[in-house]
C-alpha cells in the first residue's frame, strides 16, 4: 500500500490534449474518485496511473517509486475493469489466483490466499464455478478479489459499478467501501456518476477537457465549487447571476437577495435546490433571501418532490420533502426563499 | 407465394444439393466394394480392391508422402499463421493494412497460375523440383487460410483480458500463452484443418513441383486415371473420405470452427 502522486501530467493523442497538466495527490489508504463527463480524461488518467498509457510529460509516483517509464506488469497495481475482464476459460479460483501464479507463490500459498480473497467478497463457496455461471454482481466481486489478492500498492477501478442495476449498485457501494476500509488499500476509481463519487470517496477530482478542475473532499467541493461547471456537474445548482447572457435573478421584481460578504462586483452566485423553500405567502424571517416566482411544474417522487419555478426569465429547481410544499396549482404564484448563508459565491465564472 | 411453399421449396433445394454432393461419393464408396472392375451390376461384395491396394507399393508410398507433406505443411503454416494473426491483431506498424490486403489474392489467384509462378521461381533460385519445394509451396498456399480463420477468432477476443493479465504482473509471453492462445485455440484448430486440407487435396501445385516418382497421392491418382481407371483408386479414396470425415467430426466436437462456443 502506498500513496500515489500525479504531478503536471500531460498526454496528447494527436492534437487532442487528453490530459493537460493534471496534478492530484492520493494519500495512503484513501478512497478517491475521478469524476467527469465522458471525454474529460478521467479514464485516461486512471490508465496512465496503471501504466497502459505513458505520459508525454509530468511525473507519477506510486509509493516512493517514479513509474513514468515502468510498464503495467511491473507497477504492482490491482485493476478492476468496467466489463470485469474475467478469464472465461478459467474457474473463479483460477481467475483470482492468476496474479499469484505469475508471482510463483506456490500451490498451497495460492490456495490459502485465493480462499481469503473470496471469503472477503463473500464468494467462498464459488471457487469452482466458471465466470459465465455467475450473476453480474458475483462477477464484479470476483474481479475485485482478483485485483486485491496480490496485495498491490494501489487499487484502480474503472467504472466499477456501472454495469450493475441500481439496487445492486447501492449494495455494492456499501460493500466496496467496507472492503476498502478493511484492507486499507489506496483506491482510485473512475466514475461519471456524481452520487457514487460523493458516497464513496474521501476525495474527489473533477476533470473536464483533460484538466483537473477541482480536487478535494466531497463536502468541500459540493459546498464551494470553484466554477459553474463544477457547481452544475456535482449535484445541481440554481445559478442566480453571472452566467453569461442569462438574465440575472438579482433584478427580479420584488426580489430581496442578500449578497454574501465575499461577493464583490459582478459575482457568480448559486443556490443548491435542496436549500430553497417554497411558501405561498411572503416569508418575513430575518436572514432570508427571497423572491416571488411562478410554480411551473411539480414532480412527485415519493418522499421528495422536485419543483420547477420561474422568475423573471430565470428557471429554478427546488427539491423538498413533498409534504413541505404548499398545495398550489401549477402556474400559481409562490415565494422562493433561502437562508442567505446558503448562497454560494463561485470564484471563477468560466463555464 | 405463401411462406409455407417457399420453405418447402427451400427444403427441396437443400435435398438436391445434398444429393448431388454425396451421391457420387456414395457410388464410389459402394463400387470400391464391388467385385467387378467395370462397375458391373449386380453388386457383388468383395474386399479385392482393398487387398490389391495394400499390395500396391506405389499408392501406399504416394499416400504416406502426401500425409507427411500435409502434416509438415500444417505444422509450419499453423505456427506461422497464428503468430502472424496475433501480431496483426496486437501491433500497429507501417504497411499493416497493405499486408492484410495482400493476404487475400493468393486465395483468389488460380492455383494453376500460382503453381507456374512457383515452378519458375524455384528453378530461378536453384531449388528446382522436389519434396522441399512442394512443402514450401503448400505452406505458401495454406498460410492465408490459417491467418484468415485465426484472425476471425481473434476479432472476438476482448483485449481487456490481456490488459487484466498484464495488470496482474504477467509479461507478454505469459499473457499470450495463458490468456490469448486459449481463447483462439478453436480458431487455431480450424485453421490447421484448413491447412491440412489445402495441402492434402493439392493437385496443381504438387503436380508442378514434385519430381516424377516422388508423386503425392492426388498426382498419382491423376496419372493412374490417365492410364486406366482401377477400383483401387475408389478404395484409397474411400479410405481418405472416411478418415477426413472422422477428423472433421472430431474437431467439430471440440470447436465450432472459429465461432462463439
pLDDT of residue B259: 44
The answer on pLDDT for A143 being more than 80 is yes
Contacts B178 to A, Cβ<8 Å? 98
Q: Side by side, which strands form the sheet with A333-339?
A: A277-279, A333-339, A288-301, A304-311, A314-321
pLDDT of residue A260: 77
Q: How many CB atoms lie within 10 A of CB B137?
A: 28
pLDDT of residue A134: 92
The answer on pLDDT for A135 being more than 50 is yes
B178 in contact with A, Cβ within 8 Å: yes
Residue with more model confidence, A215 or B108: A215
Residue with more model confidence, A164 or A300: A300
Contact flag A76-B182 (C-beta cutoff 8 Å): no
Are the C-beta atoms of A249 and A314 separated by less than 8 Å?
A: yes
Mutate to test the interface with B, among A86, A88, A105 (most CBs of B within 10 A): A88
Mutate to test the interface with B, among A43, A53, A87, A143 (most CBs of B within 10 A): A87
Distance CA A196, CA A158 (A): 13
| Cell numbers describing residue A136 | 453480474
Distance CA B51, CA A185 (A): 76
Q: Which residues pair with A94 in a beta bridge?
A: none
pLDDT of residue A122: 87
The answer on pLDDT for A351 being more than 60 is no
Q: A244, A252, A236, A238: which is closest to A290 by C-alpha? A: A252
A14 in contact with B, Cβ within 8 Å: no
Distance CA A55, CA A144 (A): 27
| Cell numbers describing residue A318 | 427546488
pLDDT tens readout for residues A267-321:
788 899 999 999 888 888 888 888 888 899 888 888 889 999 988 888 889 998 9
How far from A43 is each of A37, A201, A283, B180, CA to CA, in Å? 10, 17, 48, 24
Longest dimension (CA), chain A: 77
Which candidate from A52, A83, A150 shows the least CB-CB separation from B168?
A: A150
Distance CA A93, CA B40 (A): 66
Contacts B183 to A, Cβ<8 Å? 88-89
Lookup result for grid cell 470400391: B32
Which candidate from B161, B167, B179 shows the least CB-CB separation from A72?
A: B167
Q: Which residues pair with A117 in a beta bridge?
A: none
Contact flag B167-A79 (C-beta cutoff 8 Å): yes
Which residues belong to CATH 1.10.3720.10 in chain B? 50-254
The answer on pLDDT for A48 being more than 80 is yes
A230 CB-near residues (< 8 Å, 6+ apart): A206, A213, A214, A221
Distance CA B237, CA A180 (A): 67
Longest dimension (CA), chain B: 72
Which candidate from A77, A87, A150 shows the least CB-CB separation from B179?
A: A87
Contacts B158 to A, Cβ<8 Å? 83, 85
- Conformational region of residue A171, where left means phi above 0, alpha means psi within -120 to 50, and beta covers everything else: alpha
- Mean pLDDT along residues A37-49: 92
Contact flag B170-A98 (C-beta cutoff 8 Å): yes
pLDDT of residue B260: 43
- Mean pLDDT along residues A42-68: 92
Mutate to test the interface with A, among B92, B158, B160, B168 (most CBs of A within 10 A): B168
- Mean pLDDT along residues A237-242: 82
pLDDT mean for each 10 residues of chain B (261 residues): 79 91 86 75 78 81 89 95 91 87 83 89 86 90 91 90 93 90 89 88 87 84 78 83 80 55 41
Q: A148, A185, A201, A156: which is closest to A47 by C-alpha? A: A156
- Determine the distance in angstroms separating the CA of A75 from the nearest CA of chain B, rounded to an integer: 8
- Conformational region of residue B110, where left means phi above 0, alpha means psi within -120 to 50, and beta covers everything else: beta
The answer on pLDDT for A216 being more than 60 is yes
At residue A55 the predicted structure's pLDDT band, cuts being 50, 70 and 90, is: very high
A74 in contact with B, Cβ within 8 Å: yes
Contact flag A85-B174 (C-beta cutoff 8 Å): no
- pTM for this entry: 0.77
SS (H, E, C) A269-337: EEECHHHCEEECCCCCCCCEEEEEEEEEEEEEECCEEEEEEEECCEEEEEEEEHHHCCCCCCCCEEEEE
pLDDT of residue B1: 54
pLDDT of residue A244: 64
Are the C-beta atoms of B163 and A52 separated by less than 8 Å?
A: yes
- Mean pLDDT along residues A244-254: 70
CATH code of the domain occupying B50-254: 1.10.3720.10
Lookup result for grid cell 472465461: A88
Distance CA A85, CA A99 (A): 14
Contact flag B167-A76 (C-beta cutoff 8 Å): no
Which candidate from B163, B168, B178 shows the least CB-CB separation from A52?
A: B163
Work out the burial of residue B201: count CB atoms within 10 Å of its CB; fewer than 13 is exposed, 13-18 middle, 19 or more buried.
middle
Mutate to test the interface with A, among B158, B163, B167, B175 (most CBs of A within 10 A): B167
Distance CA A134, CA A161 (A): 16
Q: Which residues 138-177 in chain B show a CB within 8 A of chain A?
A: 158, 160-161, 163-171, 174
- Mean pLDDT along residues A12-21: 90
Q: Which residues 44-63 in chain A show a CB within 8 A of chain B?
A: 50, 52
Distance CA B49, CA B43 (A): 14
Q: A161, A146, A188: which is closest to A29 by C-alpha? A: A188
pLDDT of residue B256: 52
Burial A84-121 (b: 16+ CB within 10 A, else e): bbbbebbbbbbbbbbbbbbeebeeeebeebbeebbebb
pLDDT tens readout for residues A103-133:
999 999 999 999 999 998 888 888 899 999 9
Which candidate from A83, A102, A156 shows the least CB-CB separation from B168?
A: A102
Distance CA B223, CA B206 (A): 13
Distance CA A333, CA B261 (A): 65
- Determine the distance in angstroms separating the CA of B125 from the nearest CA of chain A, rounded to an integer: 45
pLDDT of residue A247: 65
Amino acid at each position: 500500500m502506498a500513496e500515489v502522486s500525479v504531478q503536471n501530467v500531460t498526454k496528447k493523442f494527436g492534437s487532442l490534449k487528453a490530459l493537460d497538466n493534471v496534478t492530484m495527490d492520493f494519500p495512503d489508504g484513501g478512497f478517491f474518485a475521478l469524476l467527469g463527463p465522458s471525454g474529460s480524461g478521467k479514464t485516461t488518467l486512471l490508465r496512465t496511473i496503471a501504466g497502459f498509457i505513458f505520459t508525454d510529460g509530468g511525473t507519477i509516483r506510486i509509493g516512493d517509486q517514479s513509474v513514468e517509464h515502468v510498464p503495467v506488469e511491473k507497477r504492482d497495481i490491482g485493476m478492476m475493469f468496467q466489463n470485469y475482464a474475467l478469464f472465461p476459460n478459467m474457474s473463479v479460483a483460477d481467475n483470482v489466483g492468476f496474479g499469484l501464479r505469475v508471482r510463483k507463490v506456490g500451490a498451497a500459498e495460492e490456495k490459502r490466499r485465493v480462499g481469503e480473497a473470496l471469503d472477503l467478497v463473500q464468494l467462498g463457496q464459488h471457487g469452482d464455478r466458471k465466470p459465465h455461471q455467475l450473476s453480474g454482481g458475483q462477477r464484479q466481486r470476483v474481479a475485485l478479489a482478483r485485483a486485491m489478492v496480490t496485495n498491490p500498492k494501489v487499487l484502480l477501478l474503472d467504472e466499477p459499478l456501472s454495469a450493475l442495476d441500481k439496487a445492486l449498485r447501492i449494495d455494492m457501494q456499501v460493500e466496496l467501501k467496507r472492503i476498502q476500509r478493511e484492507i486499507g488499500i489506496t483506491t482510485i476509481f473512475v466514475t461519471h456518476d456524481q452520487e457514487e463519487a460523493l458516497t464513496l470517496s474521501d476525495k474527489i477530482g473533477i476533470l473536464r477537457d483533460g484538466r483537473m478542475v477541482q480536487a478535494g473532499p466531497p463536502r468541500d467541493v459540493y459546498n464551494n465549487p470553484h466554477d459553474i461547471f463544477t457547481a452544475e456537474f456535482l449535484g445541481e445548482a440554481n445559478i442566480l447571476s453571472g452566467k453569461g447572457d442569462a438574465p440575472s435573478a438579482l433584478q427580479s421584481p420584488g426580489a430581496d437577495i442578500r449578497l454574501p460578504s465575499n461577493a464583490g462586483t459582478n459575482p457568480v452566485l448559486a443556490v443548491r435546490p435542496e436549500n430553497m423553500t417554497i411558501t405561498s405567502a411572503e416569508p418575513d424571517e430575518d436572514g432570508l433571501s427571497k423572491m416571488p416566482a411562478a410554480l411551473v411544474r411539480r414532480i412527485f417522487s415519493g418522499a421528495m418532490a422536485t419543483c420547477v419555478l420561474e422568475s423573471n426569465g430565470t428557471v429554478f429547481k427546488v427539491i423538498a420533502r413533498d409534504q413541505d410544499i404548499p398545495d398550489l396549482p401549477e402556474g400559481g404564484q409562490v415565494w422562493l426563499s433561502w437562508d442567505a448563508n446558503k448562497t454560494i459565491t463561485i470564484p471563477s465564472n468560466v463555464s | 407465394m405463401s411462406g409455407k411453399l417457399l420453405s418447402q421449396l427451400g427444403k427441396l433445394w437443400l435435398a438436391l444439393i445434398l444429393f448431388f454432393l454425396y451421391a457420387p461419393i456414395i457410388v464410389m464408396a459402394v463400387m470400391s466394394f464391388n467385385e467387378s472392375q467395370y462397375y458391373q451390376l449386380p453388386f457383388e461384395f468383395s474386399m479385392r480392391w482393398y487387398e490389391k491396394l495394400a499390395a500396391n507399393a506405389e499408392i501406399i508410398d504416394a499416400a504416406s508422402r502426401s500425409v507427411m507433406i500435409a502434416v509438415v505443411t500444417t505444422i509450419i503454416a499453423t505456427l506461422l499463421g497464428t503468430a502472424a494473426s496475433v501480431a496483426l491483431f496486437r501491433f500497429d506498424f507501417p504497411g499493416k493494412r497493405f499486408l492484410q490486403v495482400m493476404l487475400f489474392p493468393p486465395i483468389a489467384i488460380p492455383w494453376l497460375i500460382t503453381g507456374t509462378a512457383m515452378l519458375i521461381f524455384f528453378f530461378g533460385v536453384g531449388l528446382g523440383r522436389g519434396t522441399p519445394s512442394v512443402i514450401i509451396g503448400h505452406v505458401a498456399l495454406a498460410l492465408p487460410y490459417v491467418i484468415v480463420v485465426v484472425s476471425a477468432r481473434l476479432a472476438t477476443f476482448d483485449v481487456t483480458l490481456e490488459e487484466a493479465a498484464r495488470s496482474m504482473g504477467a509479461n507478454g509471453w505469459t499473457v499470450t500463452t495463458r490468456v490469448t492462445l486459449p481463447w483462439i485455440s478453436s480458431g487455431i484448430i480450424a485453421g490447421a484443418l484448413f491447412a491440412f486440407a489445402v495441402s492434402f487435396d493439392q493437385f496443381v501445385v504438387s503436380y508442378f513441383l514434385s519430381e516424377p516418382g516422388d508423386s503425392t497421392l492426388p498426382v498419382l491418382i491423376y496419372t493412374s486415371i490417365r492410364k486406366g481407371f482401377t477400383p483401387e483408386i475408389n478404395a484409397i479414396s474411400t479410405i481418405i473420405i472416411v478418415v477426413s470425415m472422422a477428423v472433421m467430426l472430431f474437431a467439430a466436437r471440440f470447436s465450432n470452427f472459429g465461432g462463439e462456443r
